[in-house]
Amino acid sequence: MFKMKELPYGANALEPYINAGTIEFHYGKHYKTYVDNLNKLIAGTEFEHMSLEEIIKKTHSHPQYQGIFNNAGQAWNHEFYWQSMSPNGGGHPTGELKSRIEKDFGSYEKFREAFKNAAVSQFGSGWAWLVDNNGKLEVIKTSNADTPIALGLKPLLTIDVWEHAYYLDYQNRRADYVDSFLDHLANWDFAAK
Ligand code: MN
């Protein structure tokens, strides 16, 4: 049985960039449904006592386990997304992460452009990520419930670009939501860890 991970801040903590109503629905309805469905699907199966990561790795690319993979991936991605934001986040990273971003992207601005482009250009539902690929930082995007941990990559930061993540606050203006995330919410302390 998986329990929902607690939100690391209050529902209104990310205002005015993401309003409490969005977080209440996103956390309390969407994320909750993934966790509940996963628990139902794994009850009495070989997956019942595995970690989320193990379930994701064992069900990825196995069509007969698509439902379990989708719910496990979404549960994991959302837990990573809650932590990828902070009321005091956004702007430039510092320290070692700053140096690594400058080394692998050329500059913070080039990283920002790549991340924004991935988030805006993900067609339909999905996620944009900053990942560590064998020591090199890269930006990738994934569709639906796909997740870098199924691909052997180490995620540092993510943004949810499913419409439920931003529609109440930004309607169809996904690019404005991505700007708010990058400039005011991105949790660089979490990414550095
Ligand atoms: Mn979501």
Cβ atoms of 122 and 140 closer than 8 Å: no
Alpha carbon of 131 to ligand 1 centroid (Å): 19
Whole-angstrom distance, CA of residue 143 vs CA of residue 86:
24
Residue 160 forms beta bridges with which residues? 127
Alpha carbon of 124 to ligand 1 centroid (Å): 13
Residue 41: its pLDDT value, please?
Answer: 98
Cβ atoms of 132 and 152 closer than 8 Å: no
If you average pLDDT over every residue of the chain, what do you get?
A: 97
If residue 126 lies in a helix (H) or strand (E), which one and from where to where? Answer: strand 126-133
Q: Which residues surround ligand 1, an ion (CB under 5 A)?
A: 160, 162, 165
Alpha carbon of 30 to ligand 1 centroid (Å): 6
Residue 165: its pLDDT value, please?
Answer: 97
Whole-angstrom distance, CA of residue 10 vs CA of residue 19:
11
Whole-angstrom distance, CA of residue 182 vs CA of residue 39:
33
Whole-angstrom distance, CA of residue 82 vs CA of residue 84:
6
Alpha carbon of 8 to ligand 1 centroid (Å): 16
Alpha carbon of 160 to ligand 1 centroid (Å): 6
What proportion of the chain, given as a percentage, has pLDDT over 70?
100
Alpha carbon of 31 to ligand 1 centroid (Å): 7
Cβ atoms of 166 and 174 closer than 8 Å: yes
Cβ atoms of 146 and 73 closer than 8 Å: yes
Q: What is the pLDDT of residues 67-114, one digit of tens each?
A: 999 999 999 999 999 999 999 999 999 999 999 999 999 999 999 999
Q: Which residues of the chain have pLDDT under 50?
A: none
Alpha carbon of 46 to ligand 1 centroid (Å): 27
Residue 161: its pLDDT value, please?
Answer: 97
Sign of CA dihedral 168, 172, 175, 178: positive
Neighbours of 26 (CB within 10 A): 23
Alpha carbon of 125 to ligand 1 centroid (Å): 9
